[in-house]
Structure 1
């Protein structure tokens, strides 16, 4: 139902989303208060479906099986083999608009700005990623490019370093767009008109997948709320986080 409502572009859309974001549900685990804590929880959340976001490569612990998905490293083999946790909306996008960033960058924001710290630790914005892709994407916006996807073998991710833009594979565009729209609403981030139009178009064009609903439920049980652009969570399906290994120190 929420999909049809959003697609209708009702003038009350933003008010509706903001109201949804204010409603939290009891969770079996407290929402993480730091990025490091979020990464440790993320290992457990994705243990049932260990596959990277953009390239759909299987991983075990912090090691990615590149052969599993036909990934060819562009430049950095060692980092390509490493699983990292990526902010879909980069920390730079979250923080550079804030005063704390002007006075000391990300470290200062993490230390002194409660809103930035909460956004940095928001599991709705965190996905498993091949380390090289995470590094190449950097803080670039997601958008459409005319480049052919040849940089990473069979993984159809494209990074245009000159344009400072990354084009995600079609299967992730809808999910990435809904993450951007959620983060912009919840943390009052300013998106450019072009970026907002792109993400709203992707959200309409690429339907919510079964994986995205599963992820929203998993993350929502911990955060206490779902991403309204995906849907509400079912509290009766929340269960305590099971033990899962390898809370490695990977960054996004």
Structure 2
């Protein structure tokens, strides 16, 4: 039988754990308000600028802000109203992690919010949220990050770029390491699948742009609210090709969606030119095992089938 002292310690431990996680938001709307109140609350944070353009802002309302375009040389591309306001960017878009959940296939984002507790946790994860000029946030949409190269300036002095035709975006250099380590965190914590090409790009960015003093402080502030750190910022974990996610954040069992025939895959479909077998980024264990020299990339399963490929036999249905 436990002594009274042991029981007292156990009760205190439970209280400590409850308090530690009491402030972690449980919805996207709560996450935005919490991020403003607990993470991006002061001049130190605002002085770092928004994610894509480094613009300062003034907080307005519960979770929004008004962009100071003169602070960063921002020029509106097309959407004046969104160019003037701060929005909250999911660095790993909700569309991307949602499409790897069965709930999205059965009713989109609304259904996921209503019926999938794991999706709600991902959507409210503060490590994946950062203030952004609304126009650039909208332009980036759910595009993956990529190197775009030389391109005309789209937003004045803001150096982030969006290629609407190729459906990719390139953030400014100052945050490339940050967005890479956020991707590693999200894909690791929630067991997401990432294409080899995207892994290689983000690994290069993480090496080229190491953790800054501000990123460390931002991560520490966020960790105090969330109750855990981003191990790819602290250095406790390092992403490598073929990395197997820990799934630390999958708090309840949830099916992972396999893209429907002909549907676009979030990570890209990889075919093996020798075996004429293709692999999906979700549900196919051998997705990351095709040698680079043998890889053929497809946007849809229909395209792979039309090219004479068949789905790998070890893919889950």
TM-score (norm 1): 0.80
Task: Output the CA distance in 2 between the equivalents of 1:147 and 1:96.
Answer: 31
Q: How does 1:1-252 map to 2 (within 5 A)?
A: 27=20, 29-44=22-37, 45-48=39-42, 49-50=45-46, 51-61=49-59, 62-148=65-151, 150-231=153-234
Could you tell me which residue of structure 2 aligns to residue 10 of structure 1? none
SS in 2 for 1:229: helix
Structure holding more strand per residue: 2
Report what 2:302 is aligned to.
none
SS in 2 for 1:230: helix
The answer as to whether partners of 1:149 and 1:155 remain within 8 angstroms in 2 is no
Which region of structure 1 is more displaced relative to structure 2, 93-102 or 43-52?
43-52
Change (3 A) 1:220 1:149: farther
The alignment yields a C-alpha RMSD, in angstroms, of 1.7
Query: How many residue pairs are counted as aligned between the two chains?
Result: 210
CA distance in 2 between partners of 1:29 and 1:66 (Å): 36
**Structure with bigger RCO (C-alpha 8 Å, 6+ apart):** 1
Shift in CA distance, 25/175, structure 1 to aligned 2, threshold 3 Å: farther
How far apart are 1:147 and its partner, in Å? 3.3
Tell me the equivalent position of 1:20. none
Q: Is the 8 A contact 1:25 1:224 kept in 2?
A: no
Mind listing any 5+ residue stretches in structure 2 that lack a counterpart?
A: 1-16, 60-64, 237-317
